[in-house]
């Protein structure tokens, strides 16, 4: 009897001890994940917007209070990013997100982070080290859908101008080939001129202006940049507006609406950083990595004239509406769309004007 | 007279003609650099655990070694009164040659490593030759060779990539008596300097940097000095490239430019005069440590990383100020 009581007492004690033991574990679950974002460059609008939306997306919405985010900028050099990553690894964070200075030269350092049990996600400029996940826009889809849109607008027939981007840049070649591959399906669409737009308004406008002078009939322009430079060149030459393909900067969307040109603007959304944070939290919550190493983000196209893509069925299009997804009171270089669908980021927050 | 005045003032033979204030003034920039390093390490140590351990020394030296190697060559050139921008091109070219030619076979790695070192020395020597024979500014000659080497690197490997064997990446983690290989390299650099600056060549380089005319008048071949000075700089830049690939595991046709100005900054922070003849490698190495540790410090203080270049700039200014004051004082004494 006495022994039985003792046993019961011991069991109760054990249960109590177990309860005490689990209490801190619950508290630990609620502790925010420490996540470092290592960015190697802040010299353009996109990177700054990327950093700002990263912070906004952990300050509100479903990730509020779940993440302690630290952003480290590494002065644009590989050595600085290696040293910075080494410092980050020593701080033993739960996850590191890297917008990389080099796709390969950070690999040994990234491997070190993985070996230390840290979740590593490279986004935007990704790395080749297999232990790190990659998260980037689907660069095959963007030019294909836009070239398909152009063909639909032209009814499969017409003369177009093509932007080669920046000489020697891998992304330029990829976009140009992406356009050409789809246009090749339409034998009556002819590329009558190519220029180097260099992702800046000046070269785009000058390149298009020169080609307009040489070609009396131009029915469409496929830029790799703003598109608004091409529209300005059409205006200056007194030519009718033609369908224009470009990328989803605020100024491009506004110019399309003002000029009445039909446009489609592809997006490499700056909220890739927010998506990377969300992915990191999911991995940390579940303890499971996605099966595929590379994750592709499909930002909505921004367009005056939505269409159903046959090449990529289900591709989402946002119709440009000034004030709703294009913002006359915000910076021209703002990348659209501003926010992913799981958190509400405002244009002012993304532009840093609020 | 000028030779004796500007010769490395460490030896007792020269010390007898100087008072202790002169001794201290000569070393003022170096002492200021040491003081700054102490302060940085002190603050860093109070925020980060384990700063005063061998592990920390190993880690920081491994982070700073590429810059240290590049800055060693730059220091020799600065002491000669020149500047070498081409190290940027040489570092890029070295990494792309390594990353495209290395295989798992150690003999191949050895061959191409020696090739890169020889190439560095040869291109440096060519710099020296051009400067002497064509009587051109070192800045312009090395700017041109930088561009040529950079372009060559781009032709070999247009974007970052290539690979090196796994065991090559482990180089920085090799340890002996608790010290990692980069720390042994650091000691080797100091030993090299301790020996080199008293060699005939070492003394001649500093004398020529101090006053080219009187060096020439005392029978020094300026061409020979230039060829050897820039040759050494090229050699050290090639060494920096090889070491860098142990850190990055890849070649990069653009990475070298990131070391050109920091190599000059490290030397100047360590008290090496841009006008030649004055300074020590020990100072340069302290300078390289400072530039590397500022990054760590900014990180542990949890202040915005934008402060790192600001802090580097302020430290550079303080160093230049210290050097300038010391130089003025030195001139005051010799007048």
Encode pLDDT of A120-175 as tens digits.
Answer: 999 998 999 999 999 999 999 999 999 999 999 999 999 999 999 887 777 888 89
State the residue for tokens 């004055």: B278
The secondary structure of A189-252 as a DSSP string is EEEEEEE--TTSHHHHHHHHHHHHHH-S---EEE-SS-SHHHHHHHHHTTPPP--EEEE-BHHH
Among the listed ranges A9-23, A288-302, B186-200, which one has the minimum average pLDDT value? A9-23
Within 8 A of B258 by CB-CB distance, chain A residues are 77-80
H or E segment and range at residue B295: helix B281-300
Within 8 A of A73 by CB-CB distance, chain B residues are 304-306
B interface test, pick of A38, A40, A77, A83 with most B CB neighbours within 10 Å = A83
Within 8 A of A108 by CB-CB distance, chain B residues are 169, 247-249
State the residue for tokens 């994940």: A33
More confident residue, B209 or B83: B83
Contacts of A307 (CB under 8 A, 6+ apart): A149, A152, A317
8 Å CB contact between B283 and B272: yes
Q: Residue A96: helix, strand or coil by DSSP?
A: strand
> Which pLDDT belongs to residue B211?
83
Between the alpha carbon of residue B243 and those of residues A38, A266, B95, B109, the distances in Å are 24, 42, 9, 13
Mean pLDDT of B322-335: 68
Q: In angstroms, what separates the C-alpha of A9 from chain B's closest C-alpha?
A: 45
> Which pLDDT belongs to residue B233?
96
Within 8 A of A91 by CB-CB distance, chain B residues are 299
> Which pLDDT belongs to residue B10?
45
Q: In this structure, what DSSP letter does residue A125 have? A: S
**With an 8 Å Cβ cutoff, is B169 touching chain A?**
yes
Could you give the CA distance from residue A214 to residue B44 in angstroms, rounded to a whole number?
64
Q: Is it the case that residue B333 has pLDDT exceeding 50?
A: yes
Angle among Cα A187, A263, A42 to the nearest 5 degrees reads 115
**With an 8 Å Cβ cutoff, is B170 touching chain A?**
no
Q: Is it the case that residue B6 has pLDDT exceeding 50?
A: no
User: Does B12 sit behind a cis peptide bond, omega within 30 degrees of 0 on the bond before it?
Assistant: no
B interface test, pick of A100, A102, A105 with most B CB neighbours within 10 Å = A105
8 Å CB contact between B4 and B294: no
Contacts of A277 (CB under 8 A, 6+ apart): A35, A37, A54, A57, A58, A63, A67, A69, A97
Angle among Cα A66, A70, A76 to the nearest 5 degrees reads 145
**With an 8 Å Cβ cutoff, is A107 touching chain B?**
yes
The answer for B 235-254 residues in CB contact with A (under 8 A) is 244, 247-250, 252
Q: Residue B320: helix, strand or coil by DSSP?
A: helix
> Which pLDDT belongs to residue A28?
45
**With an 8 Å Cβ cutoff, is B305 touching chain A?**
yes
8 Å CB contact between B90 and B149: yes
The secondary structure of B126-170 as a DSSP string is HHHHHHHHTT--HHHHHHHHHHHHHHHHHHH-SSSB----HHHHG
Confidence label for A101 from pLDDT (cuts 50, 70 and 90): confident
Contacts of B25 (CB under 8 A, 6+ apart): B326, B329, B330, B333
Q: Residue B179: helix, strand or coil by DSSP?
A: strand
Judge: B63–A82 Cβ closer than 8 Å, yes or no.
yes
Q: Is it the case that residue A347 has pLDDT exceeding 70?
A: yes
> Which pLDDT belongs to residue B275?
84
Question: For residue A159, how many other CB atoms are within 10 A of its CB?
Answer: 18
Q: Domain tally for chain A?
A: 1
Q: Residue A308: helix, strand or coil by DSSP?
A: coil
Q: In angstroms, what separates the C-alpha of A103 from chain B's closest C-alpha?
A: 7
Q: Is it the case that residue B332 has pLDDT exceeding 60?
A: yes
Within 8 A of A166 by CB-CB distance, chain B residues are none
Mean pLDDT of B212-224: 84
Residue span of the structural domain in which A75 resides = 32-139+269-351
Query: Around A152, how many Cα atoms within 13 Å sit in the side-chain half-sphere?
Result: 17
8 Å CB contact between A208 and A236: no
Could you give the CA distance from residue A39 to residue A74 in angstroms, rounded to a whole number?
6
**What ipTM is given for this predicted complex?**
0.79
Q: Which two tokens stand for residue B298?
A: 């900014």
H or E segment and range at residue A340: none
Q: What are phi and psi of B113, to 5 degrees?
A: -65, -45
Q: What are phi and psi of A189, to 5 degrees?
A: -95, 125
State the residue for tokens 């070190």: A112
Judge: B248–A108 Cβ closer than 8 Å, yes or no.
yes
> Which pLDDT belongs to residue B17?
52
Within 8 A of B295 by CB-CB distance, chain A residues are 80, 83-84, 87
Judge: B161–A77 Cβ closer than 8 Å, yes or no.
no
**For residue B161, what is the nearest residue in chain A, using CA coordinates?**
A104
Within 8 A of A84 by CB-CB distance, chain B residues are 295, 299, 305
Q: Residue A158: helix, strand or coil by DSSP?
A: strand
**With an 8 Å Cβ cutoff, is B259 touching chain A?**
yes
8 Å CB contact between A142 and A178: yes
- The CATH number for A331's domain is 3.40.50.2300
Mean pLDDT of B40-49: 88
In a domain, A165, yes or no: no
**In terms of DSSP bridges, do strands A301-303 and A263-266 run parallel, antiparallel, or are they unpaired?**
antiparallel
Q: Is it the case that residue B62 has pLDDT exceeding 70?
A: yes
In a domain, A93, yes or no: yes
Q: What are phi and psi of A136, to 5 degrees?
A: -155, 170
Could you give the CA distance from residue A141 to residue A295 in angstroms, rounded to a whole number?
14
8 Å CB contact between A317 and A300: yes
Domains of chain B (ranges, CATH numbers): 2-7+25-43+52-334 (1.10.3470)
Judge: A104–B247 Cβ closer than 8 Å, yes or no.
no
Q: What are phi and psi of B174, to 5 degrees?
A: -65, 135
What is the number of CB-based contacts under 8 A between chain A and chain B? 78
**With an 8 Å Cβ cutoff, is A85 touching chain B?**
no
> Which pLDDT belongs to residue B18?
55
Judge: B292–A77 Cβ closer than 8 Å, yes or no.
no
Q: In this structure, what DSSP letter does residue A124 have? A: S
8 Å CB contact between A299 and A306: no
> Which pLDDT belongs to residue A285?
94
Could you give the CA distance from residue B224 to residue B228 in angstroms, rounded to a whole number?
6
Q: Is it the case that residue B22 has pLDDT exceeding 80?
A: no
Q: Residue A162: helix, strand or coil by DSSP?
A: strand
Residue-wise pLDDT for A170-214, tens only, equals: 788 889 999 999 999 999 999 999 999 988 888 999 999 999 999
A81: nearest Cα among B170, B299, B172, B164: B299
**With an 8 Å Cβ cutoff, is B150 touching chain A?**
no
In chain A, which residue ranges form alpha helices assigned H by DSSP? 2-30, 45-59, 78-90, 107-115, 141-153, 170-183, 201-214, 228-236, 250-259, 272-286, 347-351
The answer for A 142-181 residues in CB contact with B (under 8 A) is 168, 170
Confidence label for A27 from pLDDT (cuts 50, 70 and 90): very low
Judge: A83–B63 Cβ closer than 8 Å, yes or no.
yes
Instruction: Identify the bridge partners of residue A317 per DSSP, sorted by sequence position.
Output: A301
Could you give the CA distance from residue B86 to residue A173 in angstroms, rounded to a whole number?
31
Q: Is it the case that residue B305 has pLDDT exceeding 60?
A: yes
Distance of CA A66 to the CA centre of its chain: 22
8 Å CB contact between B6 and B273: no
Q: Is it the case that residue B19 has pLDDT exceeding 70?
A: no
In a domain, A16, yes or no: no
Could you give the CA distance from residue B221 to residue B88 in angstroms, rounded to a whole number?
28
Judge: A86–B161 Cβ closer than 8 Å, yes or no.
no
Mean pLDDT of A297-321: 94
> Which pLDDT belongs to residue A16?
47
């Amino acid at each position: 009897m006495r022994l039985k009581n003792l046993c019961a007492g011991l069991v109760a004690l054990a249960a109590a001890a177990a309860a005490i033991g689990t209490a801190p574990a619950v508290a630990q679950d609620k502790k925010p994940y420490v996540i470092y974002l290592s960015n190697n460059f802040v010299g353009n609008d996109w990177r700054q917007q990327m950093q700002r939306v990263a912070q906004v997306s952990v300050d509100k919405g479903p990730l509020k209070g779940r993440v302690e985010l630290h952003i480290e900028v590494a002065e644009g050099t590989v050595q600085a990013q290696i040293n910075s990553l080494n410092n980050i690894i020593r701080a033993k964070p739960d996850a590191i997100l890297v917008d990389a200075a080099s796709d390969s030269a950070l690999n040994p350092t990234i491997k070190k982070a993985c070996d230390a049990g840290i979740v590593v996600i490279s986004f935007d400029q990704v790395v080749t080290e297999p232990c790190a996940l990659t998260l980037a826009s689907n660069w095959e889809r963007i030019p294909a859908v836009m070239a398909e849109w152009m063909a639909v607008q032209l009814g499969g027939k017409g003369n177009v101008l093509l932007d080669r981007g920046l000489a020697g840049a891998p992304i330029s070649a990829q976009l140009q080939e992406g356009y050409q591959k789809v246009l090749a399906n339409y034998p009556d669409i002819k590329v009558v001129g190519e220029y180097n737009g260099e992702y800046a308004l000046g070269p785009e406008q000058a390149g298009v202006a020169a080609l307009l002078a040489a070609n009396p009939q131009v029915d469409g322009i496929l830029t790799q940049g703003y598109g608004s430079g091409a529209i300005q060149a059409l205006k200056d030459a007194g030519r009718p507006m033609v369908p224009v393909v470009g990328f989803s900067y605020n100024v491009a969307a506004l110019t399309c609406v003002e000029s009445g040109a039909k446009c489609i603007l592809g997006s490499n959304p700056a909220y890739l950083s927010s998506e990377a944070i969300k992915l990191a939290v999911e991995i940390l919550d579940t303890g499971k990595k996605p099966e595929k190493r590379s994750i592709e983000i499909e930002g909505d196209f921004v367009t005056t004239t939505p269409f159903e893509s046959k090449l990529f069925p289900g591709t989402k299009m946002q119709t440009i509406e000034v004030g709703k997804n294009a913002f006359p009171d915000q910076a021209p270089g703002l990348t659209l769309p501003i926010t992913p669908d799981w958190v509400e980021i405002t244009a002012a927050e993304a532009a840093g004007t609020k | 007279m000028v030779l004796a005045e500007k010769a490395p003032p460490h030896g007792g033979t020269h010390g007898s003609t100087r008072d202790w204030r002169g001794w201290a003034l000569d070393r003022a920039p170096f002492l200021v650099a040491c003081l700054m390093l102490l302060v940085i390490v002190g603050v860093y140590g109070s925020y980060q655990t384990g700063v005063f351990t061998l592990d920390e020394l190993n880690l920081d030296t491994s982070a700073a070694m590429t810059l240290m190697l590049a800055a060693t060559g730059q220091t020799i050139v600065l002491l000669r009164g020149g500047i070498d921008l081409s190290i940027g091109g040489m570092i890029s070219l070295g990494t792309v040659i390594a990353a495209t030619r290395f295989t798992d076979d150690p003999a191949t790695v050895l061959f191409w490593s020696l090739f890169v070192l020889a190439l560095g020395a040869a291109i440096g020597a060519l710099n020296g030759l051009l400067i002497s024979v064509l009587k051109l500014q070192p800045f312009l000659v090395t700017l041109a060779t930088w561009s040529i080497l950079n372009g060559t690197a781009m032709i070999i490997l247009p974007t970052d990539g290539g690979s090196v064997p796994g065991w090559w990446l482990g180089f920085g983690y090799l340890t002996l008596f608790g010290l990692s290989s980069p720390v042994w390299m650091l000691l080797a650099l100091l030993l090299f300097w301790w020996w080199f600056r008293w060699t005939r060549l070492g003394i001649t380089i500093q004398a020529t940097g101090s006053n080219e005319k009187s060096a020439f008048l005392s029978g020094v071949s300026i061409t020979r000095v230039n060829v050897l000075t820039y040759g050494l700089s090229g050699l050290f830049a090639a060494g920096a490239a090889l070491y860098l690939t142990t850190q990055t595991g890849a070649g990069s046709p653009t990475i070298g430019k990131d070391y050109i100005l920091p190599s000059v900054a490290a030397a100047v922070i360590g008290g090496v005069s841009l006008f030649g003849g004055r300074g020590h490698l020990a100072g340069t190495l302290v300078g390289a440590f400072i530039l590397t540790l500022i990054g760590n410090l900014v990180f542990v203080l949890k202040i915005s990383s934008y402060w790192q270049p600001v802090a580097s700039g302020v430290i550079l200014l303080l160093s230049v100020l210290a050097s300038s004051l010391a130089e003025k004082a030195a001139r005051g004494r010799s007048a």
